Chains A and B, each alone.
Chain A
Amino acid sequence: MSSPLDSARPSEIPFRNPGWAGNTGQFELTEAEVRGDEYIGARALDGGHPSGAPAFPFMLVERNPDAPLFEGPYKTRFEKILTRYPDVQGALIPVLALAQEVRGHVSPSTLQEIAQLTGIPEAEVRGVASFYTMLNKRPVGRFLIQVCTNISCNLCGGDEVLHAFLEYTGTELGETSEGGVFTVTEVECLAACGFPTAVQINSRYYENVTPAGVPALLDRLRTEAR
């Protein structure tokens, strides 16, 4: 029997706010309207207008660690990114992000390739990559579930939500579940403190998540993964 979620509209999902901070009763909005899906539309892989080329979701987790770096539209985006900074080093973080978008994580060999492409010393590239928590140094699951347990969410049960995710995915913190589907980690404040508990799954925010809502949310993700 398929999950009732498969056909349900987001607003009918039986937990308080179905992954978005919308239905407080004061706004008539759908999830898509809150997230701005229609306005954003489809963004071109080549980065579209150069002004936005450095800003792309790089938590897509394509899980294709062997994909060639920066070919086709990605090469175009890479070149666009370079034009937006006075020097190559300035482009390093967006370029690392682009690499993660392509490969899912930034492995030592990816860092090496970026060093060669940009002429930035390898050690520097490693030092920079290691500083930023969103750059995955190791492969992660198809869904990287980051649960905010910082103060505002914690006051409203962030720890319980985290434990629920760990329990229902059957993993330890930072570990990837069988089949490489889920990786659950703690994350620092996601700046959605008014909608506790905030959870980021890949590039998407889920808000007002409660422990009781976790199984349904995971089902929704599993459906997506299929």
Chain B
Amino acid sequence: MAYPYVHEKEVQIVSRGWGKPRTRTIDGWRELDGYVGFRKALEMGRAAVIEEVKKSGLRGRGGAGFPTGLKWSFMPKEKRGPHYLCCNADESEPGTFKDRELLRWTPHQLVEGCLIGALAIQADHVYIYCRGEFFEANQVLARAVEEAYAAGLAGANILGSGVSIDVTVHQGAGAYICGEETALMSSLEGRRGLPRVKPPFPAAVGAFGRPTTINNVETLCAIPHIVRNGGEWYRQWGTEKSPGTKLFCVSGHVRRPGNYELPLGFPMNELIYDVCGGFEEGRKLKAVIPGGASVPILSADECLACCLDYEGVQKSGSMLGCASVIVMDDRTNIVKQVRRMVEFFAHESCGQCTPCREGTTWLSRILRRIEGGKGTEEDLETLLALGTQMTATTICVLSDSAAVPVASSIQKFRDDYLALIRRGEAVGVV
């Protein structure tokens, strides 16, 4: 049951309680077997929890798709001081709007996932780094955490187990880059949200200089179900390498945009035309960005055969990212939309690394010029060259991300650019 639309092909795991105000409450969550997983985890012990999550094959839902169980196992086994778990709820990748729904409909699901995660990595304190703009969702979450404390599920000596885990809802203040894990830690520490060089990796030196694990909201939300039902259970959905279900955030020119929880490996065609109801009368598909603004654009043809799992999307020439499917029909002015995305990256660049700081703005200025009909064909070559110069030369991947839509759109929609350059005519209106 996704929200605000429902489709029969959905598999409801993390989105089960959406659209039902009662699920927000601790009692409502318990009615859906809430906190059973956490109790079970307390009994199993941390090593068994990690094993179970490894078995499930759950991959990080924040974009990179790194196996969660493996990530947890990087944390030092012997504790020599505090460990931290950070939940990355700084959702701000254009096209992604799943975490906000998770936060506002099923806050206890996240709290439970955080508690199990903290148990697994021996974290003393969970920081849920919430995006600052999510005031409403954050208030819901804060209330849920408070309820968890009141029920003895968080704080000191949880349920008499001797385990103590604190949970804090930390609110960001507006910076896309803080969704990058090392920048998130910098920001949590009260500094400018600058990504840091790895190594050292967060599991060795993380937030406040201590071993830290950072997990996405959706990842942690899947954890209670995996622990409750076992890792094998989770593998009944999805593919061998990408097991489980995933929230697909569909936006753009479809009739029924929204979040849909579907097994990984779901065909893109079916998602667009069946689940989301296709396009308005007389419109047809032009392009799709399958994983948020920082992955390559796919042309209509490439979408046909694309299966939505980590490997499948890669085979089609893009990346699944956080499964934010932005659908564009034939009214779309690709140049304008690419320019808008690049302006976003220019606005959100932290400014540390030169290629990103200078490159993002430079790209956006050239694109604006082309959009205004003052571009040259030489500009296209410059755009591609700058994109190459911005790739794999910076601390984090924001710079790479900014170059991606530019390069892929020039490659696949060169005629749209040339129409503007040669005749000053835009293809598409939005």
Chain B residues with CB below 8 A from A18, complex form: none
User: Chain A's nearest CB lies how many Å from the CB of B421?
Assistant: 22
Whole-angstrom distance between the alpha carbons of A133 and B337 in the complex? Answer: 23
Does A49 contact B149, Cβ atoms closer than 8 Å? yes
Does A39 contact B208, Cβ atoms closer than 8 Å? no
Whole-angstrom distance between the alpha carbons of A152 and B140 in the complex? Answer: 26
Consensus secondary structure, chain A interface: loop
B65 close to A (CB within 8 Å) = no
A188 close to B (CB within 8 Å) = yes
Does A128 contact B192, Cβ atoms closer than 8 Å? yes
A181 close to B (CB within 8 Å) = no
Whole-angstrom distance between the alpha carbons of A189 and B94 in the complex? Answer: 5
Does B154 contact A51, Cβ atoms closer than 8 Å? yes
Whether A26 touches B5, Cβ cut-off 8 Å, given contacts A97-B173, A132-B174, A191-B96, is: yes
Chain A residues with CB below 8 A from B6, complex form: 26
Whole-angstrom distance between the alpha carbons of A90 and B127 in the complex? Answer: 11
Does B293 contact A56, Cβ atoms closer than 8 Å? no
Whole-angstrom distance between the alpha carbons of A40 and B348 in the complex? Answer: 31
Chain B residues with CB below 8 A from A193, complex form: 94-97, 249, 251, 257, 324, 326
Chain B residues with CB below 8 A from A128, complex form: 190-192
Chain A residues with CB below 8 A from B25, complex form: 39
User: Chain A's nearest CB lies how many Å from the CB of B228?
Assistant: 24
User: Chain A's nearest CB lies how many Å from the CB of B366?
Assistant: 18
Contact indicator per residue, chain A 39-55, by CB within 8 Å of chain B (1) or not (0):
11101000011111011
Does B135 contact A204, Cβ atoms closer than 8 Å? yes
User: Chain A's nearest CB lies how many Å from the CB of B338?
Assistant: 9
Chain B residues with CB below 8 A from A132, complex form: 132, 172-175, 193
Whether A151 touches B140, Cβ cut-off 8 Å, given contacts A39-B24, A90-B188, A190-B133, is: no
User: Chain B's nearest CB lies how many Å from the CB of A151?
Assistant: 5
Partner of A194, one of B21, B130, B249, B337: B249
User: Chain B's nearest CB lies how many Å from the CB of A111?
Assistant: 14
Which of A29-37, A167-175, A217-225 lies at the binding interface? A29-37
B109 close to A (CB within 8 Å) = no
Partner of B337, one of A86, A120, A155: A155
B143 close to A (CB within 8 Å) = yes
The interface size bin for chain B is 35 or more
The residue in chain A whose Cβ has the minimal distance to the Cβ of B145 is A51
Chain A residues with CB below 8 A from B169, complex form: 51-52, 54-55
Chain B residues with CB below 8 A from A188, complex form: 92, 94, 176, 344, 347-348
Whole-angstrom distance between the alpha carbons of A131 and B253 in the complex? Answer: 34
Whole-angstrom distance between the alpha carbons of A57 and B45 in the complex? Answer: 38
Whether A89 touches B191, Cβ cut-off 8 Å, given contacts A40-B140, A152-B94, is: yes
Chain A residues with CB below 8 A from B328, complex form: 155
Does A51 contact B168, Cβ atoms closer than 8 Å? yes
Does B251 contact A196, Cβ atoms closer than 8 Å? yes
Whole-angstrom distance between the alpha carbons of A151 and B287 in the complex? Answer: 13
Q: Which residues 340-377 of B have a CB within 8 angstroms of A?
A: 340-341, 344, 347-348, 350
User: Once A and B bind, how many residue pairs between them come within 8 Å at the CB atom?
Assistant: 230
Does A22 contact B4, Cβ atoms closer than 8 Å? yes
The residue in chain B whose Cβ has the minimal distance to the Cβ of A154 is B340
Contact indicator per residue, chain A 115-142, by CB within 8 Å of chain B (1) or not (0):
0000010001001100111110000000
User: Chain A's nearest CB lies how many Å from the CB of B240?
Assistant: 30
User: Chain A's nearest CB lies how many Å from the CB of B195?
Assistant: 13
The residue in chain A whose Cβ has the minimal distance to the Cβ of B187 is A93
The residue in chain A whose Cβ has the minimal distance to the Cβ of B254 is A194
B19 close to A (CB within 8 Å) = yes
User: Chain B's nearest CB lies how many Å from the CB of A145?
Assistant: 13
A13 close to B (CB within 8 Å) = no
User: Chain A's nearest CB lies how many Å from the CB of B270?
Assistant: 18
Does B94 contact A150, Cβ atoms closer than 8 Å? yes
Most A CB within 10 A of own CB, among B140, B259, B350: B140
The residue in chain B whose Cβ has the minimal distance to the Cβ of A157 is B430
User: Chain B's nearest CB lies how many Å from the CB of A190?
Assistant: 6
Whether A29 touches B21, Cβ cut-off 8 Å, given contacts A86-B208, A89-B189, is: yes
Partner of B190, one of A24, A43, A91, A191: A91
Q: Which residues 176-190 of B have a CB within 8 angstroms of A?
A: 176, 187-190
A59 close to B (CB within 8 Å) = yes
Partner of B142, one of A26, A55, A58, A133: A55
A residues sitting closer than 8 Å to B (CB atoms) are 21-22, 24, 26-27, 29, 33, 35-36, 38-41, 43, 48-52, 54-59, 84-94, 96-97, 120, 124, 127-128, 131-135, 149-152, 154-157, 187-196, 200, 203-205
| Top 6 A-B residue pairs of the complex, sorted by shortest distance between their CB atoms | A52-B142, A92-B190, A134-B174, A132-B173, A193-B251, A133-B174
B residues sitting closer than 8 Å to A (CB atoms) are 3-6, 19, 21, 24-25, 82, 91-97, 99-100, 104, 130-136, 138-143, 145-146, 149, 154, 166-176, 187-193, 208, 249-253, 256-259, 289, 293, 324, 326, 328, 332, 336-337, 340-341, 344, 347-348, 350, 430
Given A22-B4, A43-B142, A87-B208, list of 10 further CB < 8 A pairs? A26-B4, A89-B190, A128-B191, A151-B326, A156-B253, A189-B93, A191-B91, A191-B133, A192-B97, A193-B257
A–B pairs, 6, beta carbons within 8 Å: A40-B139, A48-B146, A54-B169, A55-B171, A188-B94, A191-B96
